[in-house]
Amino acid sequence: MDQNVVQEAHKLLEKDGSFATRTEAYILYNYFDRDIYAMKKSSVCDDGKIIDKTTINVCFKLENIIKEWNAVMEFAHSIRVDEEASCGYLIYWLYGKVKDSKCDDSDIYWIYNKLSEPLENICFKDKKDKFGRKFVKLYDRNILKSKKELHDFVEYYKFIKVNVNKNITNKKVYCRYIEYIFDLYHKMNQDHNLKCTGLYEEINHFENTFKHENGELNSLKNICSDISQKLVLEVNNKISCPSEQEENAYKEKFKKKPAASADSQNFTEIESPKKTQEKIKLEDNISEKLSSLKIYEELNNANNIDFNNSYCKELEINDTKAKNICAHVVKNLKKMTELDYIKEHNEYCLHFVRWIYEEICKIPGIDWKNIYKNPDITKLFRVQFPINSKSPKYRCYYDFAGNINEWKEKADLLDYFQIFDK
């Protein structure tokens, strides 16, 4: 149903000649889709590791787009799009292909794995520290779908606003689309764990478009009266996440030493996310308020664990520590598929990813720069895919090519917010 709403609105937009010739995202998505970027042979993509033919075709196109980047930029500049914006559109184009594909998760991994470095070199050559935040390697189709739909709505909004009043039939289609997007925003905005760890950066773009000062919300409410007032108000009462500078400041305040006096011993005063000064007892109070402590206890719990499960057995892992991690991964991933609420699942998943990084660090001789050259580590990476594919609701993925410190910081930041949410 939701996909029909989006497709129906997009088809109406495509009939507008101005939209088709003046919307940067739409123009570049179509440019990247051109058959000229399809290839019959490729040493990078056509090596037998990617099974699905449609996915191979996406890999071919992305590889050739990267190779022909100078020509891409020549075209982009002709429509007044700079390189940074072009790279962003390419990433969302790829997200769209991945979310619509029928391939399994391992195929998606191979696309990310093969072409991540070339993409980083052309798009983030001078901003490599931004790459992981701008190009999030996601396997969950629902998250990819949400990210792209919210992003594209904002990109197309100027023409939606122009077309919504052209006739009654079109107005109904566009208003259903607008209501769907506001509901999507509501769900994403409530998912505080993902929003404040960077996976839903699109929310900021959406909120800036519909902030109270520019009157867009009132305009929409007048046009589409069925939009829930609750959804409209939520944009003005958004959950604020700290900026990169604020995150660093919060981390420093956590490190602040308590005063030496008896009355203030083990206490420190820090600024909450709501900008209020709060006294926090560094040991007992924090321990009592953090659900992460219980999660880590469950992640490490070896009770009722099956060390001979079929998932790990088929992989034939040699290292004893890696075998133990594999058994825990299977237990913990299955546990996550049984959780009832998305917020609970996302919190568990975030700490699970941190947990597995820390467990991998305990394996002797681990070289993070060449992590996938270790065959047992590659097997630990692969074990997640068949378990996730069987999950009827929620999935959780990890990638050892990521930055362990970044995941620790995300988990610490989530703990920070939870202290004040209690």
What's the whole-model pTM score?
0.71
Higher pLDDT, 332 or 361: 332
Region 163-168: mean pLDDT is 80
Instruction: For the chain, give every domain's residue range.
Output: 2-236, 244-287, 290-421
Which of 93-97, 100-104, 256-260 is predicted least confidently?
A: 256-260
pLDDT of residue 257: 43
The full 3-state SS of the chain, as one line of letters, equals CHHHHHHHHHHHHHCCHHHHHHCHHHHHHHHHCCHHHCCCCCCCCCCCCCCCHHHHHHHHHHHHHHHCHHHHHHHHHHCCCCHHHHHHHHHHHHHHHHHHCCCCHHHHHHHHHHHHHHHHHHHCCCCHHHHHHHCCCCCCHHHHHHHHHHHHHHHHHHHHHHHCCCCHHHHHHHHHHHHHHHHHHHHHHHCHHHHCCCCCCHHHHHHHHCCHHHCHHHHHHHHCCCCCHHHHHHHHCCCCCCCHHHHHHHHHHHCCCCCCCCCCCCEEEEECCCCCEEEEECCHHHHHHCHHHHHHHHHHCCCCCCCCCHHHHHHCCCCHHHHHHHHHHHHHHHHHHCCCCHHHHHHHHHHHHHHHHHHHHCCCCCCHHHHHHCHHHHHHHHCHHHHHHCCCCCCCCCCCCCCHHHHHHHHHHHHHHHHHHC
The string of pLDDT tens digits covering residues 269-324 is 444 444 444 444 434 444 444 567 788 889 999 988 999 999 999 999 999 999 99
> Is residue 265 pLDDT above 90, yes or no?
no
Least confident interval from 53-62, 65-74, 106-115, 129-138: 129-138
Burial class of residue 49, CB neighbours in 10 A (0-12, 13-18, 19+): middle
Residue type, 48: G
**pLDDT at position 281, please?**
44
* Per-residue pLDDT, 418: 53
Closest CA to 270 of 262, 260, 280, 257: 280
